[in-house]
Structure 1
Amino acid sequence: MPSSGVSEDSYSVLSCFLEHGSQVVHRSMGILPLKKVTIINHFRLLKLKEMFNSKFGSTPKFYVRAPGRVNIIGEHIDYCGYSVLPMAVEQDMLIAVGPVKTQTLQLANTDPLYPDFSTTANNICIDKTQPLWHNYFLCGFKGIQEHFGLTQLPGMNCLVDGNIPPSSGLSSSSALVCCAGLVTLTVLGMRLSKVELAEICAKSERYIGTEGGGMDQSISFLAEEGTAKLIEFSPLRATDVKLPSGAVFVIANSCVEMNKAATSHFNVRVMECRLAAKVLAKHKGLQWDKVLRLEEVQSELGISLEEMLLVTEDALHAEPYSREEICKCLGISLEELRTQILSPNTQGELTFKLYQRAKHVYSEAARVLQFKQVCEAAPDNAVQLLGELMNQSHRSCRDMYECSCPELDQLVDICRKFGAKGSRLTGAGWGGCTVSLVPADTLSSFLASVHEAYYQGNMSRLAREKHSLFATKPGGGALVFLEA
């Protein structure tokens, strides 16, 4: 964002002529300098404009872009209150928008797999039982509507173009939620800070039924080109983390799709962490009924993450807890457990693994801080140290959190075999992508070897490899722009 005359912490409608990209025009502040815009491919934009005109019979008034992300380390701990370390990727969601005078919201997608959708802008209903693509847009739309307490919203035509592989763990769904939130804010002509937008979109994505923690939305708005971010919560803030120059991060898609809103896997883990927090709090004599997150237990006790691991060893057992045992521990009824603690799609679960989930969360939270410290200290063996932390993370995700799958484990092993210093699943897991730390001078041979070992010979994987195996660098965050 421009630094002269416009706050870097807030969004307004920007105007970029992408072919030349030399100026930004703010609606009320005149012309401001901006580096050449290279985030959006010009031909992609022209194609989107032409498709919009063909679909709606008009020209888009503005465009919104929100990136996907890769989480370098810190898996399944944001919803427990702990810091994570992601970076935005160059792949993104791009939406062409044309406000209309009617109160009709019309959504279309450049991918024919995703059918058109139309609804009134003032009666948004989101079906949690079917995580269809348009429901993610509705989440962002409804989030802005409810934040401002609006009952009458203008309609709009929107054409969505995404190049983030779906259900790959690169946060395509959250990017769409963020894009929709920024679209709605822009149509309304209102302003919010990046932090406010991130928090609204994190909250509103839960309309789809997923009890996420806010990492994906935060990095989508707060990302800056060239740097990863340590994202902290309560309050939300982002700190630059300079990654080692002698290595690159490579994303490899297992080609196993996992839509976290379509199953209960994700929410079961959230509830297991919530229950672990409550049982740990009760064990330590805290006011357990007010506790929701594992970080709150540590904060209340005022001890280190390493000490929390010892508390976990002392207070929890490795065997799964039945619902009845949890109720006995907390002194509540089965009905109170079901209706006051568990989410709707986890109320039928019979057992919960509290020890394993808490062990993962506390150890993973410590790895995030260690990763940042190594990046800051930049010792000669930084790449080796960071790689080992990533390897530890994957083992914990696989064994303690049980969110891996055979294909992800195979892909991680292949990446390490051919030179990755560290490799781990990224995103929710149960499919999706790995992220690997690879010495820059071995990148070409690494990509060729992984291609041959994992993709070649498997026609399904090979057909998708163009968007499945690539090196990436930290990209920029969400933005709005007009065509001059």
Structure 2
Amino acid sequence: MVSSVEASKCLNHLMSKSIDIKEELNTIYGDQLSLIDDRFKSLKIIVENFIKYYGDNRKIIISRAPGRVNLMGRHIDHQGGYVNTIAINKEILLVASSRQDYKVNIRNIENLRFPENKLDPHSLLEISKFSDWKDFVRSKEVLKLNKKIPDDWSMYILAIYYRLQLNYPKFKLTGVDCLFGGNIPVGSGLSSSSALGVVFSLALLNLNKINLSKEILIEMIGEAELFLGFDGGKADPAAIISAEKGKVSTIGFFPFHILCTTQIPKHLKIIIAYSGIEAKKVGEKKDIFNQRVASYKLAMMILRKKWSLSKNISHLRDLMPNKLNIPVSELYHGLLSLPNNPTRNDIISIMGPEYIEILKEVFMTHVDPDNYDLLGVTLFGLSECARSENFYKILEKRNYKLLKTFVNLSHNGDRLVLFDSFGNYSHYDHLSTKDHLVLMVKNQPSLVSISGNYSCSIKEIDKMVDIVNSIPGTIGAQIAGAGMGGNMTILVKDNSEIQVMDELRNKYYKQQNISFEASITYPISGASIFKSLQK
């Protein structure tokens, strides 16, 4: 636990730029002097604003949580696949102070975009009536609240508060006065929402003197997203909490574990470039997100019923040939058990009346898409699992040719269109129909060499990817996060970053008539509470 300190004392200590503060910032952010200077300024501003709003004698703590980039292993954390992530040098800061009651007051430095809200969680929803988190998030009261304020930032705070409160039913969590600030763009695919959840949870736990292991905290923050209607995985909080400065973390799930960390070669640069299209998971985009996850669940249910080798399999990753000890052709043959673009009625007919209630739970997460591409999604998931568990080995060996192939194949699974050198585009063929699967049984392509069909990119990001892939120094380009807008990520060799950004400026940003938003990112340490400022 970190002790709270009076806001005025914290500000004075911060202004002194003492050795202990500099050492902590260096441990978190590395030797990027401009970045450390920027963090000093941001910390000063947020503490000064806290004093302005709440007073200088309030005892405070300051927590931080960075955004993240997943270099390989998209859309598979909830299927048990590995992710290969870094924390980026954009983060959310929170200055928090305990209250004498149970209310949570939230303010943001960007108060026009994120209006102040005074929350009374225990009056808003009676969580004490529930002992199971899934029962709570599926209750009429929670569903009604989601419809009332689906895109309000306070919902992310409530999600964390309720998830932690349910875990400690014998006492009420103390109220908190909060001031947030940060530079992770919203709807960017850099996980600003998970960072918000992490930064608040660290402060709330500390102020309530609760110790939680990283593993349990990651589980709870991941589960909190169910409150918001997202049926996803836990890769984002895992990446944000577990990150190490300058390294890629290879993280697995079921159970959570860090397989390894790999130093990023000094001659590699990571560029983040914004498409100009927000990736907020609300409305139709939220439906697409949940529908893809549902496709995994439905495919696994059908496979367990119709293919004997998958009868006792819990997670998609365990269907890989090296897990089942079978040739890849046998896997492809087993996948022929999946129906071709079934409707909900088709799936109900296949599974039988005994599965009606289970299927209803799956269907309720999203609007009926008419047809489910179970085969395309499953092929993507399996191939991505195969690529992601080998990514760190390729990075260690500096095999950039294979690395580029892996990243291209991964993005192609999400791709919608393909651009030529003249800027013309055509629909992308994912080669993942049953006819293609029959050929796979015969030709036995390796799992890593196929892409499947997840289709969560957008035309604009596909264009950006194709622009930078034409540059020799590009090692790989792909969507960031869950897709459907936001940023794309580019791995480039040193000395190629300027050319890559110039090409994007001239061939994308100027043509789209939008502001240039591309920059090099530096992998920093994971979320924490500032200890040197609490003296």
Q: Partners in 1 of 2:171 and 2:301 — Cα distance?
A: 38
CA drift of 1:52 comes to: 1.5
Structure 2 residue matching 1:23: 3-state secondary structure: helix
Q: Specify whether residues 36 and 473 from structure 1 end up closer, same or farther in structure 2 by C-alpha distance, changes over 3 A only.
A: closer
User: Where in structure 1 are there 5+ consecutive unaligned residues?
Assistant: 1-10, 25-32
User: Is residue 271 of structure 1 aligned with residue 294 of structure 2?
Assistant: yes
Retained in 1: the 8 A contact 2:81–2:388? no
User: Is residue 452 of structure 1 aligned with residue 506 of structure 2?
Assistant: yes
TM-score by length of 1: 0.87
Structure 1 residue matching 2:146: 3-state secondary structure: coil
Query: Within 5 A, what are the aligned runs for 1:54-133?
Result: 54-58=52-56, 59=58, 61-111=60-110, 112-123=112-123, 125=125, 127-129=145-147, 130-133=150-153
Alignment match, 1:427: 481
User: Is residue 183 of structure 1 aligned with residue 203 of structure 2?
Assistant: yes
> Which shows bigger deviation, 14-23 or 179-188?
14-23
CA drift of 1:140 comes to: 1.8
Q: Partners in 2 of 1:422 and 1:37 — Cα distance?
A: 29
Q: Specify whether residues 136 and 75 from structure 1 end up closer, same or farther in structure 2 by C-alpha distance, changes over 3 A only.
A: same
Alignment match, 1:469: 518
CA drift of 1:183 comes to: 1.3
CA drift of 1:339 comes to: 2.3
Q: Specify whether residues 68 and 471 from structure 1 end up closer, same or farther in structure 2 by C-alpha distance, changes over 3 A only.
A: same
Q: Specify whether residues 283 and 21 from structure 1 end up closer, same or farther in structure 2 by C-alpha distance, changes over 3 A only.
A: farther
User: Is residue 139 of structure 1 aligned with residue 159 of structure 2?
Assistant: yes
Retained in 2: the 8 A contact 1:124–1:142? no
* % identical equivalent positions: 27
User: Is residue 315 of structure 1 aligned with residue 337 of structure 2?
Assistant: yes
CA drift of 1:469 comes to: 0.7
Q: Partners in 1 of 2:519 and 2:365 — Cα distance?
A: 35
Amino acid of the structure 1 residue aligned with 2:317:
E
Q: Partners in 1 of 2:146 and 2:85 — Cα distance?
A: 27
User: Where in structure 2 are there 5+ consecutive unaligned residues?
Assistant: 30-35, 126-141, 416-429, 431-452
Q: Select the residue among 404, 414, 422 that pairs with 1:387.
A: 404
Retained in 2: the 8 A contact 1:74–1:367? yes
Retained in 1: the 8 A contact 2:269–2:520? yes
Retained in 2: the 8 A contact 1:424–1:435? yes
Structure 2 residue matching 1:437: 3-state secondary structure: strand
Summarize deviations over 1:95-140 as a string: whole Å, max 9, x none: 1112121222100111121111112243454633303111112222
Q: Select the residue among 147, 165, 176 that pairs with 1:156.
A: 176
Retained in 2: the 8 A contact 1:305–1:362? no
Retained in 2: the 8 A contact 1:121–1:153? no
Relative to its length, the structure with more helix (as a share) is 2
CA drift of 1:377 comes to: 3.0
Alignment match, 1:411: 464
Retained in 2: the 8 A contact 1:274–1:293? no
Structure 1 residue matching 2:302: 3-state secondary structure: helix
Amino acid of the structure 2 residue aligned with 1:245:
K
Structure 2 residue matching 1:241: 3-state secondary structure: strand
Structure 1 residue matching 2:71: 3-state secondary structure: strand
Q: Partners in 2 of 1:60 and 1:205 — Cα distance?
A: 30
Summarize deviations over 1:186-226 as a string: whole Å, max 9, x none: 11012112222111111112211101110000011111101
Alignment match, 2:43: 45
User: Is residue 241 of structure 1 aligned with residue 259 of structure 2?
Assistant: no
Q: Partners in 1 of 2:326 and 2:199 — Cα distance?
A: 38
Structure 1 residue matching 2:353: 3-state secondary structure: coil
Q: Partners in 1 of 2:522 and 2:97 — Cα distance?
A: 32
Summarize deviations over 1:33-68 as a string: whole Å, max 9, x none: 857466461111111112212222345611110111
Alignment match, 2:357: 336
Retained in 2: the 8 A contact 1:223–1:477? yes
Amino acid of the structure 2 residue aligned with 1:104:
K
Retained in 2: the 8 A contact 1:251–1:433? yes
Retained in 2: the 8 A contact 1:68–1:170? yes
Retained in 1: the 8 A contact 2:310–2:319? no
Summarize deviations over 1:290-326 as a string: whole Å, max 9, x none: 8664235559972469467514543225x31111221
Amino acid of the structure 1 residue aligned with 2:459:
P
TM-score by length of 2: 0.79
Retained in 2: the 8 A contact 1:391–1:423? yes
Structure 2 residue matching 1:212: 3-state secondary structure: coil
Q: Partners in 2 of 1:371 and 1:308 — Cα distance?
A: 25
Amino acid of the structure 1 residue aligned with 2:324:
G
Q: Specify whether residues 106 and 299 from structure 1 end up closer, same or farther in structure 2 by C-alpha distance, changes over 3 A only.
A: farther
Q: Partners in 2 of 1:345 and 1:163 — Cα distance?
A: 31
Summarize deviations over 1:396-415 as a string: whole Å, max 9, x none: 12241011111010111111
Alignment match, 1:356: 376
Amino acid of the structure 2 residue aligned with 1:407:
E
Alignment match, 1:6: none
Retained in 2: the 8 A contact 1:83–1:233? yes
CA drift of 1:150 comes to: 4.5
Q: Partners in 2 of 1:93 and 1:74 — Cα distance?
A: 24
Amino acid of the structure 2 residue aligned with 1:44:
S
User: Is residue 438 of structure 1 aligned with residue 492 of structure 2?
Assistant: yes
Structure 1 residue matching 2:529: 3-state secondary structure: strand
Q: Partners in 2 of 1:308 and 1:473 — Cα distance?
A: 43
Q: Partners in 1 of 2:334 and 2:384 — Cα distance?
A: 14
Q: Specify whether residues 275 and 38 from structure 1 end up closer, same or farther in structure 2 by C-alpha distance, changes over 3 A only.
A: closer
Q: How many aligned residue pairs are there?
A: 455
Amino acid of the structure 1 residue aligned with 2:262:
V
Q: Partners in 1 of 2:526 and 2:393 — Cα distance?
A: 24
